[in-house]
Structure 1
Amino acid sequence: MPGQPDKSKNLYFIALIPPEDLERDLWEIKKEMSARFDSHAALRSPPHITLHMPFRYRSDRQESLIHSLLDFARKQKPFEVELNGFGAFPPRVIYVDVIPNGPMQELQKGLLDFMKKEHNIFNANYRDRPFRPHLTVAFRDLKKSRFDEAWLFVQDRTLEMSWSALGMYLLIHNGKNWECLQECLFEGF
């Protein structure tokens, strides 16, 4: 039927996910934004930095996708990820700001090229905008009328976190939420 998703394809995306201790702290921020500003969409995925936007891929080729991403990841090197404060894409998105760095930019660009070449997937970035690493805490269902209030709530908050990215994750949508399907470790891990 036109306009209906193809049930033989799953919805995936690829991301960096912080280690458990930082992930717990970031979940608390997401939950606080949800409770205060009635924005729940960010709770449907773990705290993450998107490297490749959601894409549909044949479910019968999932193992092939996983194996190719494992091979791609083995050729990458670990790098530091630094979070510093908050940012926004008005009028709906509030995020924890990620300090861009060369290794993260190179990983993301290499992944996009790899996905085009190996899997014929071209929807790598949102509306052809350049890669702007961030960790979303409120979006889509944050009402425009509440955006200013939510932004005032976080804009001056101090938040500094860092971790060594030792791998990336393939996530799959289960029909309701995003789940980690496969961790793809970088070289030497």
Structure 2
Amino acid sequence: MMSEALYFIAVLPPPKIQNEITGLKHEISEKYESKHALKSPPHITLHMPFKWKEKRYDELADLMRNLNSDLEPFEVQLKGFDFFEPRVVFVDVVENQMLEEVQKNVVNACRKQLKLDNANYKNRPFHPHVTIGFRDLKKRMFYEAKKEFEKREVSFEFPVNEIALLKHDGKKWNIHKF
């Protein structure tokens, strides 16, 4: 049997901001019974999860090294909360042309070099965000959370100097060194 792993590619905020956003995830988990967002570090997805054969891991690692060596550093601003009804609560990302370009570059490189074609969820356009509650958030709880979070303010800004590869260990997503 061929061994495969599940990966995705993302922008990760620095540890201090990750800790603050993880605190928001814990709040959603405790108040609104949604634990699923705690299975990954806070991130902005650039390429949704994909399966990759372990015997071809070197190709994936090379792609990540190339993407990072070509990356021009830029700033990202997270501001406010928003929602994908009826299940997702997230910290919104302020529109950012550089982030859009990086996402397109990641998707194109994955298609061209790795022959991956599942870059967008249900063919929806790229909508950068940092999820704090989703999937297991029940509709009733979602609307309670929305009522609370749409009144709250949050703002973070950070430099992006690299993109990350995350790997699923069967229970949660971990930052993967390549």
Q: TM-score, normalised by structure 2?
A: 0.97
CA–CA distance in structure 2, aligned partners of residues 123 and 100 of structure 1? 23
Unaligned runs of 5+ in 1: 1-5, 184-189
CA–CA distance in structure 2, aligned partners of residues 21 and 124 of structure 1? 29
Query: Aligned pair 1:13/2:44, yes or no?
Result: no
> Shift of the alpha carbon at 1:77?
0.4
Instruction: Output the aligned Cα RMSD.
Output: 1.1
Identity over aligned pairs, percent: 40
1:1-189 mapped onto 2 (5 Å cutoff): 8-182=3-177
> Shift of the alpha carbon at 1:7?
5.7
The answer as to whether partners of 2:59 and 2:114 remain within 8 angstroms in 1 is no
> Shift of the alpha carbon at 1:60?
1.2
> Shift of the alpha carbon at 1:176?
0.3
Secondary structure in structure 2 of the residue aligned to 1:136: strand
> Shift of the alpha carbon at 1:153?
1.4
Runs in 1 of length 4+ with deviation above 6 angstroms? none
CA–CA distance in structure 2, aligned partners of residues 73 and 166 of structure 1? 8
CA–CA distance in structure 1, aligned partners of residues 106 and 56 of structure 2? 18
CA–CA distance in structure 2, aligned partners of residues 43 and 63 of structure 1? 29
Counterpart AA for 1:47: P
> Shift of the alpha carbon at 1:166?
0.8
CA–CA distance in structure 1, aligned partners of residues 164 and 95 of structure 2? 19
Counterpart AA for 1:126: Y
1:96-117 CA deviation, whole Å, 9 max, x = no partner?
0001211000000011010000
> Shift of the alpha carbon at 1:62?
1.4
The answer as to whether partners of 2:77 and 2:156 remain within 8 angstroms in 1 is yes
> Shift of the alpha carbon at 1:76?
1.4
Counterpart AA for 1:155: E
Unaligned runs of 5+ in 2: none
Q: TM-score, normalised by structure 1?
A: 0.92
